[in-house]
């Protein structure tokens, strides 16, 4: 199977997946990084790992449809089976999601459906929540929505600062995202309507 990772920034989750592939925990080809930001840390990670990079910038296209069409060209050329969103800071269109339905996964630093959006760790901290966490889910047409694959809690302790909480959440991200990708590659994730059943086979 061939994996494409979409990232816009540092790519720390991308790095966790690279390590899992190198260690043989994920038995698939990490074929492509799709990035929309020149100079992003994810690009450096890809180059160091010998992974092909497709830099596709929205400003180079008249419409979002054209922008996504260029991305599709790259995905089709590399025969991509699974799209892994790892800090890709653009909403994909319903048409794109429909084209790859059941083959796009995302990670979110909260226990969905709580604390959606791009500031979820800070939102949980500011709210005074005692527990937050990480969610890996299939992507559907809504933001931070879709059938949940894995979730793991992170306790927010009184001594935590926003910075220490971010470190704890990211550590859990790097644990469960490669695991979710492994389950997909091994054919153990079965979508049943709005639910995901994880098989033992």
Query: Is 150 in contact with 136 (CB distance < 8 Å)?
Result: yes
Calpha distance 57→65 (Å, rounded): 13
Let me know if 137 is a catalytic residue.
no
Choosing from 108, 145, 170, 174, the catalytic residue is: 108
Calpha distance 59→49 (Å, rounded): 28
What are the backbone angles phi and psi of residue 114, rounded to the nearest 5°? Answer: -80, 150
Calpha distance 91→177 (Å, rounded): 20
The two most distant CA atoms of the chain are separated, in Å, by: 50
- The residues, ordered by sequence, that sit 6+ positions from 4 with a Cβ below 8 Å of its Cβ are 31, 32, 33, 34, 74, 75, 78, 80, 82, 83, 84
Question: Helices (DSSP H) in the chain: which residue ranges?
Answer: 12-22, 41-49, 64-77, 94-99, 120-127, 162-185
Query: Is 90 in contact with 112 (CB distance < 8 Å)?
Result: no
**Gyration radius (Cα) of the chain, Å:** 17
Q: Which residues are catalytic?
A: 108
């Amino acid at each position: 199977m061939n994996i494409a990772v979409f990232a816009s920034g540092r790519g720390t989750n991308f790095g966790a997946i690279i390590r899992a592939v190198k260690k043989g925990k994920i038995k698939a080809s990490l074929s492509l990084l799709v990035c929309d930001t020149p100079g992003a840390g994810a690009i450096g990670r890809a180059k160091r790992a010998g992974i092909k990079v497709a830099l596709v910038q929205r400003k180079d296209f008249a419409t979002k449809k054209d922008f996504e069409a260029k991305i599709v060209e790259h995905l089709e050329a590399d025969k991509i089976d699974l799209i892994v969103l790892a800090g890709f800071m653009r909403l994909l269109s319903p048409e794109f999601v429909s084209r790859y339905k059941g083959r796009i996964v995302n990670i979110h630093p909260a226990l969905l459906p709580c604390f959606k959006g791009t500031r979820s760790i800070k939102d949980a901290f500011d709210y005074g929540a005692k527990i937050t966490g990480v969610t890996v889910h299939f992507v559907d047409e809504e933001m931070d929505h879709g059938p949940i694959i894995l979730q793991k809690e992170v306790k927010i302790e009184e001594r935590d600062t926003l910075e220490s909480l971010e470190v704890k959440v990211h550590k859990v991200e790097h644990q469960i995202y490669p695991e979710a990708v492994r389950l997909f590659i091994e054919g153990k994730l079965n979508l049943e309507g709005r639910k995901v059943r994880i098989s033992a086979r």
